């Protein structure tokens, strides 16, 4: 059994609509016409919008094939493989976010006994993994938005501390002797921040954080972070290449 798969990023408008519940996720699509209309309005092509099989988390599976023998009876198994691939991606066994997975072709064994779960689920999962790796897998890291109210004369110290943690300074608002500094920083870089920022401000600071979504990990940190995650999970340190998933 062989599956041909293409993966591409979903338009951000579609991802947002899934996350806020405007587009419901799940296997049982109640009104395919209404869903197709929504997706087309949000940026998918007409053909893509009509081809949705499953929305799992914030990733969409599309069946773009025509007239593939035995595919109807194998589709449930393909969907299981799709779930496995999305729940644990190929680079670090972490959830995959914001993709459209397009099944474009398939060759299935004529004997039903060779199209069962033991054959079809790994084949579909590995086809999706191979497409992801070939396209280029990017790790995402969670971000915090940080807001600090501080004396103006320590703004330089605060900015230095934030930038040391890979933060991006978004705004500095000065009101006399006090200033408000707003920025975004990776959650992983915020350990020990409380004591460090109090030290930088001589204790004169009020600050808060809030979740600010996910952003791509800088490329220069990709391999090191991948190795750390895989080692922690008991996996081989090196992430598989596209050749690993080739037929």
In this predicted model, what pLDDT tens digit does every residue of 198-207 receive, in sequence order?
999 989 999 9
The predicted structure's pLDDT at residue 128: 96
On whether the CB atoms of residues 206 and 148 are closer than 8 A, the answer is: yes
For the chain, give the mean pLDDT: 93
Q: Please write the tens of the pLDDT for every residue from 42-81.
A: 999 999 999 999 999 999 999 999 988 889 889 999 999 9
Give 140's strand partners.
Answer: 216
Please give the structure tokens belonging to residue 172: 């500095």
The answer as to whether 229 is a domain residue is no
Same domain, 131 and 160: no
The answer as to whether 235 is a domain residue is no
Nearest to 74 by CA among 123, 116, 126, 29: 116
Same domain, 74 and 124: yes
Same domain, 66 and 128: yes
- Quickly list H helices, 59-183: 71-87, 117-135, 155-164
Strands 99-107 and 59-63: parallel
At CA 224, angle to CA 218 and CA 227, rounded to 5? 130
Same domain, 159 and 102: no
CATH at 108: 3.30.230.10
Residue 3 has pLDDT above 80, yes or no: yes
Give the pLDDT mean for 32-47: 93
Residue 136 has pLDDT above 90, yes or no: no
Query: Total domain count for the chain?
Result: 2
Same domain, 165 and 199: yes
Same domain, 85 and 175: no
The answer as to whether 37 is a domain residue is yes
pTM: 0.87
Give 155's strand partners.
Answer: none
Same domain, 126 and 144: no
The answer as to whether 39 is a domain residue is yes
Q: Please write the tens of the pLDDT for every residue from 142-181.
A: 999 999 999 999 999 999 999 999 999 999 999 989 999 9
- Structural domain including 40 reads 2-135
Same domain, 112 and 173: no
Same domain, 44 and 117: yes
Residue 27 has pLDDT above 80, yes or no: no
Same domain, 28 and 83: yes
The predicted structure's pLDDT at residue 206: 94
Please give the structure tokens belonging to residue 245: 């998933």
Q: Where are the strands (E) in the chain, listed by range? A: 2-9, 52-56, 59-63, 99-107, 140-151, 168-175, 178-186, 206-216
On whether the CB atoms of residues 149 and 178 are closer than 8 A, the answer is: yes
Residue 247 has pLDDT above 80, yes or no: no
Residue 41 has pLDDT above 70, yes or no: yes
Q: Of the candidates 104, 135, 166, which is a domain's last residue?
A: 135
């Amino acid at each position: 059994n062989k599956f041909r798969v293409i993966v591409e990023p979903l338009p951000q408008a579609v991802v947002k609509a899934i996350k806020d519940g405007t587009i419901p996720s799940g296997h049982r699509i109640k009104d395919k016409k209404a869903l197709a209309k929504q997706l087309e309005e949000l940026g998918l092509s007409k053909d893509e919008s009509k081809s949705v099989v499953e929305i799992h988390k914030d990733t969409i599976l599309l069946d773009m094939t025509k007239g593939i023998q035995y595919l109807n009876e194998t589709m449930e198994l393909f969907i299981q493989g799709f779930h496995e691939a999305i729940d644990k991606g190929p680079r670090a066994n972490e959830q995959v976010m914001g993709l459209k997975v397009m099944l474009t072709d398939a060759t299935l064994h004529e004997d039903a006994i060779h199209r069962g779960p033991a054959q079809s689920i790994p084949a579909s999962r590995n086809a999706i993994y191979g497409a992801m790796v070939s396209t280029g897998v990017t790790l995402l890291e969670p971000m915090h938005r940080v807001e600090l109210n501080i004396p103006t004369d320590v703004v330089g110290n605060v900015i230095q501390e934030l930038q040391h943690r890979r933060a991006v300074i978004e705004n500095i608002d000065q009101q006399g002797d006090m200033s408000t500094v707003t920025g975004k920083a990776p959650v992983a870089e915020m350990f020990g921040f409380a004591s460090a920022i109090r030290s930088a401000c001589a204790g004169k600071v009020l600050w808060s954080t809030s979740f600010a979504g996910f952003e791509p990990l800088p490329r220069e940190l990709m391999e090191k972070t991948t190795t750390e995650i895989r080692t922690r999970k008991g996996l081989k340190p090196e992430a598989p290449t596209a050749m690993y998933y080739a037929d």
